[in-house]
Amino acid sequence: MNAASPAQTTSAVPRHVAIIMDGNRRWARAKRLPAIEGHRRGIVALREVTRAARDAGVEILTVYGFSTENWKRDKTEISLLLDLCVYFARSELTELCRNNVRVRIIGHYEALPGASREALDRLVAQTADNTGLRLNLAVNYSARSELRDAISALARDVASGTLEPADVNEQRISSYLYTSDVPDPDLLIRPGGEARLSNFLLFQVAETELYLSDVFWPDFGHADFMRALEDYARRIAMRDGSA
């Protein structure tokens, strides 16, 4: 018997899906295009996958948009990426509102240049009243920096006496993370053929199901996303002894 589709088995739909959007530059290189074309096509893929997640009943989608390691890239590419950040925030607003998507930014995006930061702030503000899928954009994000910030805040609270050392447990640590108001991801998807976490949500994905794909992110569409959900549903059914 085939595993039930997530669309048919509501209990098997992951509540929170995280995605490492990998392979943009390799996609562009394979097509002999500038790297920025891969990033532009990646925006189209994000639009399609966001729709697919909403239609499947996923509540939260967290995507790795710009890591702190990206600052090591060529300055021209970084500049174009930041311009693309502004373009995304402006061009996708209507689509996101039409689909009732609420956007939140995680990471130190305040360190971005003014135009990028302001565009993201407007995107968050203008989608704040939407009540459907929540889209977390990890921008200038590093899981190690997130953990450092959490530990620093915990240490300050312990030093001030507002928190007892004995009260520091996994749940308490989680409450100091950037994702403190959402559950940990049920499923982490990594397209692009690589098999590493790349400093993304290291604390949160301790018990997360992983789905790896050889498809570069710009080509990762609705069908690929649904295959990931079907794989998740099959594994959950096997783990629960219902398959």
Set 22, 186, 224, 231: catalytic member: 22
Instruction: Based on the residue annotation, tell me whether 99 is a catalytic residue of this protein.
Output: no
- Helix, strand, coil content of the chain in percent (nearest 5): 50, 15, 35
Is 186 among the residues known to form the active site? no
- Euclidean distance between the first and the last CA atom of the chain, given in angstroms as a whole number: 8
Distance CA 56, CA 125 (A): 26
Report the alpha-carbon distance of residue 128 to residue 134 in Å, rounded.
Answer: 10
If you search the block for the tokens 């390799």, which residue do you land on? 26
CA dihedral for 124, 125, 126, 128, sign (positive or negative): positive
Tell me 104's DSSP state: E
Instruction: Give the H or E element holding residue 190.
Output: strand 187-190
Question: Among 232, 239, 221, 234, which Cα is nearest to 21's?
Answer: 221
**Residue from 55, 70, 157, 184 carrying the catalytic annotation:** 70
Residue 242: what residue type? S
Known catalytic residues are 22, 70
